[in-house]
Chain A
């Protein structure tokens, strides 16, 4: 298995149009694949041009997302997250 690159989703709750689901903020996952750059939807929503922003598919374990309430800790959740929401991270204890 190739080395995983872990990233943590910013825990902010900014106002306005945001496409980072609240339930994933503060959670750590690993890069499933990189998708290239797309206009930032947070700017598009207010009729700005939209700065090209890298978009990544990040994979989270259900254990990381839901803790002890996870239905099956080994199952996974993938989401597309823009780079400005992600910061390098260590592997979480529950993967």
Chain B
């Protein structure tokens, strides 16, 4: 039988997801209470909250990929990006809100990787929501201690001569890594280049894809 544990599988062959009918946690209750009070007192509306959730869900790594592709093709933009990444991305038309962004340049000599050991700070206003592993204790604890081992597990093997710079996002800044432009991409336009830029390459746990 291909599906020996059929009791635990739905007809689609996937495990059943347990119903979330456990009681609300303290903080879930608190969130609902505060939200309802804010609506009741006219501070905000349910529609505004939904719209904000939609706006956050609409953000994705493809926005960041466009920034990277432009940094690869436009030297003036590249310079502006490393001088003030918030201003440069806003100037490109991205609504990043009040986010203070720093762009980190990967080169043949330096590889940057971003982690938030205290919680899960991430440039959400540009890249959307972080991957689940970014918030895991294992990633947060290990990346500052043994970044090369962590990178190797992501399939990133760096030459010994490369310096690894780990950035612990501890306070008010958010970080985006600008990966190296892959070889053999001379003829590609910005759109084709952006397709090579992965989410992980902008966290530093990956490289841009080869064409």
Contacts and interface: CB of A to CB of B under 8 A. Distances in A.
A80 B172 contact: yes
Contacts of A23: 117, 144
Interface string A63-87: 0011001011011111111100000
B86 to A, nearest CB: 12
Nearest to A79: B168
Interface in B115-166: 117-118, 144-149, 163-166
A66 B145 CA distance: 7
B29 interface: no
Contacts of B173: 35, 57, 80
Contacts of A69: 145
B171 interface: yes
Given A21-B118, A71-B147, A77-B144, A82 B171 contact: yes
Given A21-B117, A21-B118, A74 B166 contact: no
A78 B171 contact: no
A44 to B, nearest CB: 11
Contact of B172 (A20, A55, A75, A78): A55
A80 B172 CA distance: 8
B171 A75 contact: no
Contacts of B166: 75-78
Contacts of B146: 71
B115 to A, nearest CB: 9
Interface residues of B, number: 20
A77 B117 CA distance: 12
B209 interface: no
Interface string B169-193: 1111100000000000000000000
A41 interface: yes
A48 interface: no
Contacts of A74: 163
Interface string B8-48: 00000000000000000000000000000000000000000
Contact of B148 (A20, A71, A78): A71
A41 B163 CA distance: 32
Contact of B170 (A21, A66, A75): A21
Contacts of A57: 173
Interface of B: 100, 117-118, 144-149, 163-173
A-B pairs with lowest CB-CB distance, top 3: A80-B171, A75-B164, A79-B168
18 contacts: A20-B170, A38-B171, A41-B171, A57-B173, A69-B145, A71-B147, A71-B149, A75-B148, A75-B166, A76-B165, A77-B165, A77-B166, A79-B168, A80-B168, A80-B171, A80-B173, A81-B170, A81-B171
